[in-house]
Amino acid sequence: MNHSVLSAGLLLCTGVAAVAAPANKKKPNVIVILTDDQGSVDVNCYGAKDLTTPNMDKLAKTGIKFTQFYVAAPVCSPSRASMLTGMNPHAAGLPGNASSQEGSSGMPTDRVTIAEVMKQAGYATAHIGKWHVGYTPETMPLGQGFDYSFGHMGGCIDNYSHFFYWNGPNRHDLWENGKEVYREGEYFGDLMEQKAKDYIENHQDEPFFMYYAINMPHYPLQPKAKWREHYKDLDMPRRDYAAFVSTVDDHIGQLVNKLEELKMRDNTIIIFQSDHGHSTEVRTFGGGGSAGPFRGCKFSLFEGGIRVPAIISWPGRLPQNEERHQMALNIDWLPTIAEYCGIKELPEGVEGHSLSRVIEKKKESPHQLFFWKSGPGWAVRKGDWKLIGYPQDPSNETKLDFDKDLLFLVNLKMDSTEMTNLATQYPEKVEELKNDYLNWEYASPEDIPTKRLQIKHKANGKKVTIESAPHSKYKANGAASLVDGETGTRFFSDGFWLGFEGNDLVATIDMGKTEVINEISVGSIQDAESWIFFPEYIEVAWSADGKQYSKPVRKMVEPLKSAGQKSIRRIALQQEDINARFLKVTVKSYGKVPEWHSGKGGKAWLFVDEIAIQ
């Protein structure tokens, strides 16, 4: 955001207005503590029996613990963008993860953040920790309303070298006030803690808002040694994950101790929550976190992906050691904080609601209807009913039947574990919720699941070999899936697509005998939010003996340059009267995410379902 414009009068158009606190009452300080990839029940007070989290528990004892608290997305960037703006991720302009490459844009700068709201109300504003919603000067913290910033801009770093932790080439990623800084060998959690304590010490005489975005227990799992020893009897990956959670707990405790030491605790609102559910990615050894009784994890719209631990503590004002079972969302923090800090008008477009009546008077949830949309998957919750379109559960603890479960209906009061699909028992409820979803501004009729199409062609069931194996998460039934006569659905994770990360698909089909061929077509899907793109081209060469091949014929594919649009295409290459037994089909990936995309330079995905020979 351009702050000269903001101070000149943007508040008039956005509806943000600061309200002076009473002369005899000091404005409260606010600290929002956001953990990363912490599971739905991975706090003692949420039911974890094998963890040690006394400081998180202390926040609950001195505040309100929510049992049905949701994030607006099951992945990092959109969840954070929602919390910062009080808007759903699509309205916030960041429906998928932002790129971790320097120079990549993220959340649009015309979205008003909570930092800008607080700054206009006379607060000092600080970001400490992970950012991951933009990596240009305009979209980094100082461009989005923060006076001070220390941390990393991408999705994850090694906690000692502070290099980006994903894939090569490795890049250093540690910044202070927009300038790269080097603190080699110093533990990032310790650096965060010290910067936060210094900031508190230096702002005793003015109200401050601090966004303390801890990058843990997100991988790489690098807990403190004392906690590794403490959990030595647990099995991996739970051992290192648990040690990481307790490392985080220590840092939270030190932050609270500083406030108590300076006699600032009673007038400081502390909000604690995770950004989404636990990860089961290979980089976290396939798990470690827990959703307890809930199904799903990070990336999933089942409860385990979007229901998170959340606490608000303000000992000087709010009830203590109580629970609230009403549904609440991370988009509600902005209006809640604004109300408690004397700010009466909110930025235009804020969808969250103040939770003050829920917190103080135990009133019903302000949300009777809410929508999620992440990649091709979507969900709607209305009261206790919840409908998920294209559900996925990367935890693989339970299997989905994608021929029956493309629309998954549950009643959370009857079954919060979401283990039984009620869609066939309550078809009228499915239609009701589906229509509710389609009336949402960001829904599309194309989001509604469709059955797989049958394709009869000459290569059905023939022998196929491929040069590079698909990614282990998207391998369908292997090469045979390319000629099984069935397409995938609009959901790339449905188990019917072959997915390749940064690689081409080169498939050789043995027709069994010489055939006359006039067309070769390839099914592909684009979901740019998930970094999946149509191929650059398809290429076909043919042979009678499988040794000597013709000169390849190429069909270029018109690119779809839209980050938000999803589409499926059947790309056909026509060549009259090919007489051949063997076909070598190359589907060319872009390899790298295109320049027009916010993730430019990252590994591009290629997804293919059926290669049809006519």
576: left (phi over 0), alpha (psi -120 to 50) or beta: beta
Q: What is the pLDDT of residues 357-373, one digit of tens each?
A: 999 999 999 999 999 99
pLDDT band at 563 (very low <50, low <70, confident <90, very high): low
How far is it, in rounded angstroms, from Cα 235 to Cα 237? Answer: 6
Q: Mean pLDDT over all residues of the chain?
A: 92
- 36-208+217-365 maps to CATH 3.40.720.10: yes
In this predicted structure, what is the pLDDT of residue 169? 62
pTM score: 0.86
How far is it, in rounded angstroms, from Cα 42 to Cα 63? Answer: 18
**600 neighbors 101 (Cβ within 8 angstroms):** yes
Residue 115: which of 1, 274, 271 has the closest Cα? 1
Q: Sheet of 124-130: strands edge to edge?
A: 179-180, 175-176, 148-152, 124-130, 208-213, 29-35, 268-274, 310-313, 63-70, 322-329
Top pLDDT among 85 and 376 is at: 85
How far is it, in rounded angstroms, from Cα 520 to Cα 576? Answer: 11
- Delimit the domains of the chain by residue range: 36-208+217-365, 372-447, 463-613
Q: Quote the percentage of the chain above a pLDDT of 90.
A: 81
The pairing of strands 537-543 and 553-556 is antiparallel
Q: Token pair 């970094």 is at which residue?
A: 531
Q: For residue 519, count CB atoms less than 10 angstroms from its CB and return exposed for 0-12, middle for 13-18, buried for 19 or more.
A: middle
Helices (H) and strands (E) in the chain, counts: 13, 21
Mean pLDDT is lowest, of 50-54, 101-105, 197-201, 249-253, for 101-105
- 463-613 maps to CATH 2.60.120.1190: yes
465-488 mean pLDDT: 92
Q: Quote the percentage of the chain above a pLDDT of 70.
A: 95
Quick check: 11 pLDDT over 50?
A: no
Residues 6 or more apart whose Cβ sits within 8 Å of residue 428? none
**97 neighbors 109 (Cβ within 8 angstroms):** no
How far is it, in rounded angstroms, from Cα 555 to Cα 539? Answer: 6
Mean pLDDT is lowest, of 32-36, 73-77, 331-335, 488-492, for 488-492
In this predicted structure, what is the pLDDT of residue 527? 86
Chosen CATH of 372-447 out of 3.20.20.450, 3.30.1120.10, 3.30.1360.180, 3.40.50.300: 3.30.1120.10
* Local structure of 192: helix, strand or coil: helix
412-436 mean pLDDT: 97
How far is it, in rounded angstroms, from Cα 421 to Cα 410? Answer: 6
In this predicted structure, what is the pLDDT of residue 167? 62
**409 neighbors 422 (Cβ within 8 angstroms):** yes
Largest CA distance in the chain: 92
* Local structure of 117: helix, strand or coil: helix
- Return phi, psi of residue 528, to 5°: -60, -30
- Please name every residue paired with 507 in a beta bridge, in sequence order, or none if there are none: 466, 585
Residues 6 or more apart whose Cβ sits within 8 Å of residue 5? none
Mean pLDDT is lowest, of 417-426, 478-487, 495-504, 556-565, for 556-565
- Please name every residue paired with 571 in a beta bridge, in sequence order, or none if there are none: 522
